[in-house]
A and B are shown apart, each in its own frame.
Chain A
Amino acid sequence: MSKGPFKLERAGLLQLLQALKTQGYLTLGPTVREGAIVYDELHRLEDLPIGYTDHQEGGSYRLEQRGDGAMFGYNVGPHSWKRFMHPPILRLFRARQANGDLEFESEGEAAPKYAFIGVRACELQAIRVQDRVFLGGPYQDPHYKARREQVFIVAVNCTQAGHTCFCASVESGPRAQTGFDLALTEVVDGEHSYFVGEVGSEAGARLLDRVAHRAAQEAEWNQALALVDRAARQMRHLDTQGLKERLYQSLEHPRWQVVANRCLSCGNCTQVCPTCFCTSVEDHTDLAGQVAERTRRWDSCFTADFSYLHGGSVRVSTLARYRQWLTHKLASWQDQFGLLGCVGCGRCITWCPVGIDLTEEVAAMNDVQTGRFAPKEAGGAHV
C-alpha cells in the first residue's frame, strides 16, 4: 500500500465504478431525486449530480446549478450512509410455533456488499461513531457487522462548505484522513474535472491497479489540499472546549424552554443525523398465528413512547426531549463512546422545519452560572 497521491481522470473514475461492479459490489453514490441529492445505486457517471450544488440554510435546502460540470460540487443531502449499514427497517428474527414448540430464526438473507462512492469526511466520522455503537461494546450487532465488514469506501473531499456545515469545529473534516479505501478531491475546470487521490487500504490499492491513473504531481496535490483548506475556512462554529461539562451544568438553563417553544418534536433531526442510532421493535404475527416476526425500525427520542415506563413517559415535555437529544449528542455520547456524537454535517440544522441550529443553542447556553435557575417551578420546596 505504498502508493502515493495519484491523479485520476473521469475515465478512470468510470473504470473504478465498473471494477467495483465486476467485484460484486452494489455501487452507491449521490444522485438527484425529487429535488435533493440522495444516495442510491450508481450505474454510470451520468447518475452523479453533475453541475448541481445544494444551497443550505437553517430549515432550507435547495438545489442550484453551479454553472460548471462538477460531479461532487455539493455538500450533504438528507440521506446518510447509515441507511445502508443500519437500515431503517430490519427483520431481527422469525418465530415459528408448531406442535407446542417455538423456533427462532435469525434473518437469513446474506448482507449486501456495498461500495460507497462520495463519502464526505464528516460521514467517515459518522461511520466511526456508529462502529463504536454497534461493534465497540460488549455486544455486537451482527446485522451491522455483516454490512460493515464488506463495505468499500471511496471518500470525496469537500472543496466548499455548506452554510450549515461545521465539521472543522468537531475535527471531522473537511479532509478525509482515515477510514477510507480511496479518497479523492475533485478539481473542477469548467465543464471538465479530474481527481487527485490517495490510497487508504490494501483493498483500495488493489482496486486502483485496475484503473487508469498516474502519480499526482506535487503541484496537483497541493492544489487539491488548498481547495479542501478553503472549505475549512468557510464554516460556522461550535465551541467544543469543555462542552460536556458545560451542558451537564446547564440542564436547567432557561434556554431549553426557549428552544422547546420552537421545536415541533418532529424528529427530523434524528432521521437525518448520520450517527443517531436509536431503534424500536415491532412484533407481528401472520393471520394464522403460526409465524411471528420482530422488526427493528429507526426510532426517535422525540416521540412520546421512546421513554415509556409502565404508566407513562419519562420525558413528557418537548423541552426534555430536545435536551435529551442535544445533551446525548454532545455530552453523554462522550461518556458512552469516548467521542462526540456530532460530526458537524449540519443536516439537523438544514432539515429542521423551524431551522433550530444546535451551534446557536449551545452558544446561548454558555453562561452556565444560571444553571440552577429553574423557571416557573418555584413555590413548593418547603411547604
Chain B
Amino acid sequence: MVSLPSPIVVDPMRPRPFRVARVMRETADVVTLELEAQTGPPLRFQPGQFTMLYVFGVGEVPISISGDPQKPERLVHTIRKVGAVTEALCNLRKGAVVGVRGPFGSHWPLEQARGHDVVMVAGGIGLPPLRPAIYHLLHHRQDYGRVYLLYGARTPRDLLFPEELKRWQYTLSHAPGATPVRVTVDRAEGDWDGAVGLVTSLIAPLTIDPSRTTALMVGPEVMMRFTIAELRKRGIPEENLYLSMERNMKCAVGFCGHCQLGPHFVCRDGPVLAFPQVRDWMTRKEV
C-alpha cells in the first residue's frame, strides 16, 4: 500500500462546459470562437498555452488560445477547418456548448525576454498562438525593446486579424516611423500592396540587437526550420529561439504518449520549446 501526493487537478481528463458567446468568421476556413465558462471561474492562461476543445459526440482537438491573457473571462480560440472536429467547431453557433480542458502546456518566455528585442514570426494559422504574446507585449510595452511581428500568409485573403495588424503597426512601435508589423504573402492577389515572398525574407532587414533578442515562431515545421536558419544568420543565440510545436496531442497531460518528439511530450513539455531542445529532432525524418 502506498500513500500518494495530491494532484493539482482532480481529473484532468474531464472537460468543463463553456458556452459559445461569439463567433467571428475570419477567412474562408478560419473561425474565432469566444467562450464563457458555464460554471466555475474563468480559465486563466499564459500566452502560448492551449486547451482541448470537445464537441459533443464528435471528438476533441488541441487548440492554442488566441485571446488576451488579461481578459480571461472570454476564452478565445481561432480555429482552422482541417478535420472533422475542427470543422464541427467552425460550424458552431452562438449559444452552443462545448467542453474545455486546460489550459495545458508551456508558454512563451515573456519574462526572460524582458529588456530584449522581440521578433515574432508567424506562418499561416501560426498567428493566433502568438496573439496572446502580442497582447502581453502591448500591456507591458515599456519592458521590451524593439518588437517585430513578421507574418507570412498564403494569399491576402488568408490574412488573419487584418484590422489588428494595422493597429499593431502603431501600438507595437518602438519609435515614430518604425514598422513593427511586416507581412508577406506567397501569392499576390487583387490589390495587394505589400511584400510577396517567404516570411524568412523579412528577417534580414530587421534592426535588432542580436545578442539581446528573443524570437518566437509558429508555423509549419519546414517554415520554422528556415526561419531558425535566417535568425541564426542574424546572430541571435540558439537558446533565445522559441518554437511552438505541433504533434498528435490526445490527452494533453503526458499520459497517452501520442505527441512524443524524441524525449519530449509536446503536450506537456511544449508546445513552446526552446530551439536547443528540439534541434536534433526537427530535421530527422519520422521521429
Q: Which residues of A contact B (CB under 8 A)?
A: 92-93, 95, 97, 100-104, 106, 131, 133-135, 137-142, 145, 148-152, 181, 201-203, 248, 251, 277-281, 283-285, 289, 292, 294, 296, 299, 301, 306-311, 314-317, 319-320, 323-324, 328, 331-332, 335-336
Contact = CB atoms under 8 A, between A and B. Distances in A.
B7 A278 contact: no
5 smallest A-B Cβ distances: which pairs? A278-B257, A335-B263, A320-B286, A140-B7, A285-B57
Contact of A138 (B8, B16, B97, B98): B8
Contacts of A332: 260, 262-263
Contacts of B14: 92-93, 104, 106
A137 B1 contact: no
Contacts of B256: 278-281, 296, 299
A283 B85 CA distance: 11
Contacts of A285: 56-57
Contact of B17 (A102, A150, A151, A280): A102
A228 B248 CA distance: 44
A299 B262 contact: no
A201 B56 contact: no
Interface-central residue, A101, A138, A202, by most chain B CB under 10 Å: A138
15 contacts: A97-B56, A102-B17, A102-B97, A106-B14, A142-B7, A145-B4, A283-B60, A299-B258, A306-B248, A307-B248, A309-B247, A316-B286, A320-B286, A332-B260, A335-B263
Interface residues of B, number: 51
B265 interface: yes
Interface string B89-100: 000000111110
A151 B1 contact: yes
Contact of B97 (A101, A142, A149, A310): A101
A102 B96 CA distance: 9
Interface of B: 1-5, 7-17, 38, 54, 56-60, 82-83, 95-99, 246-248, 250-251, 253-258, 260, 262-263, 265, 268, 280, 284-287
Contacts of B247: 307, 309, 314
Contacts, number: 153
B97 to A, nearest CB: 4
B2 A148 contact: yes
Given A103-B17, A138-B254, A151-B1, 19 more contacts: A93-B13, A95-B99, A101-B97, A102-B17, A104-B16, A104-B99, A139-B255, A142-B10, A145-B7, A149-B1, A152-B1, A201-B1, A279-B250, A279-B256, A309-B247, A310-B83, A320-B286, A324-B260, A324-B287
A137 B56 contact: no
Nearest to A90: B13
B172 to A, nearest CB: 31
Interface-central residue, A92, A133, A248, A309, by most chain B CB under 10 Å: A309
Contacts of A135: 4-5
B167 to A, nearest CB: 31
Contact of A137 (B248, B254, B280): B254
B283 to A, nearest CB: 11
Contacts of B13: 92-93, 141-142, 296
Nearest to A149: B4
A320 B1 contact: no
B224 to A, nearest CB: 14
Contacts of B83: 310
Given A139-B8, A181-B1, A102 B56 contact: yes
Contacts of A201: 1
Contact of A100 (B5, B97, B254): B97
A309 B15 contact: no
Contacts of B99: 95, 102, 104
Contacts of A150: 1
Nearest to A332: B263
Interface-central residue, A95, A151, A299, A311, by most chain B CB under 10 Å: A95
B222 to A, nearest CB: 12
B41 to A, nearest CB: 17
Contacts of A309: 246-248
Contacts of B3: 149
B263 A306 contact: no
Nearest to A134: B255
A248 B263 CA distance: 10
B185 to A, nearest CB: 22
B250 A281 contact: yes
Contacts of A323: 286-287
A139 B12 contact: yes
Contact of A289 (B11, B57, B257): B57
Contacts of B285: 320
Contacts of B246: 309
Nearest to B12: A139
Contacts of B1: 149-152, 181, 201-203
A271 B251 CA distance: 19
A225 to B, nearest CB: 26
A308 B251 CA distance: 14
Nearest to B80: A310
Contacts of B98: 102
A106 B60 contact: no
